[in-house]
Amino acid sequence: MINIAVFASGRGTNFYAIARGVRRGELKVNLALLVCDNPAAAVLDKARKLKVKSVLIERKDFAGKQGFEAEIIRLLKENHIDLVVMAGFMRVLSPYFVRSYADRIINIHPSLLPAFKGAQGIKDAFDYGAKVSGVTVHFVDEEMDHGPIILQQAVEIRPKDTPASLEARIHKIEHALYPRAIQLIAQGKVRLKGRKVLLKCG
């Protein structure tokens, strides 16, 4: 069973979906650690209630970004983390960090990448007038919202949608798709060939 660490900075809805899957036995991984950089984040309360080990590590306590990331890497190694799961962690990882956990960091993004990268993926798709948005789970590389795609699912943007209604439907898909992607990795059904993902069926 692999050890995973979830990185989150906010409400922690994806963290909760992952933790719920683990508790129900649907997601067969060890949720070993929550890493959070925001002392006001609601995800910390969720971790306490679910009895998931958490660590609060703030960028302001370090002279530079590399020192901040080096401490996180130390914690990951101390907890024998096999897979880093980004779930609303509002910091861009440096190439130093990505190389340290190459092909062992995944992220979820609320659009069909490569469309609508960035922090406002849902709003950007809505404002653009796109007919379809969606959710992407991908490996993290040294570029923002980039890297080999593991799973994607489309979400129709309906004529009567508002940004809030679209966001609610996208989040519902996220909460199902992310645990599914993690489970595929845990089962050894995800393999990288070059910069493409091969999924093993069955």
Q: What are the catalytic residues?
A: 109
CA distances to 5, 52, 58, 164, 183 from 10, rounded to whole Å, are 16, 16, 14, 17, 24
80: alpha, beta or left, given left = phi > 0 and alpha = psi -120 to 50?
left
CA distances to 103, 112, 145, 194, 197 from 148, rounded to whole Å, are 9, 13, 10, 9, 6
- Choose among 79, 71, 20, 29: nearest CA to 54: 79
Provide the β-strand partners of residue 161.
Answer: none
182 CB burial (10 A radius; 0-12, 13-18, 19+): buried
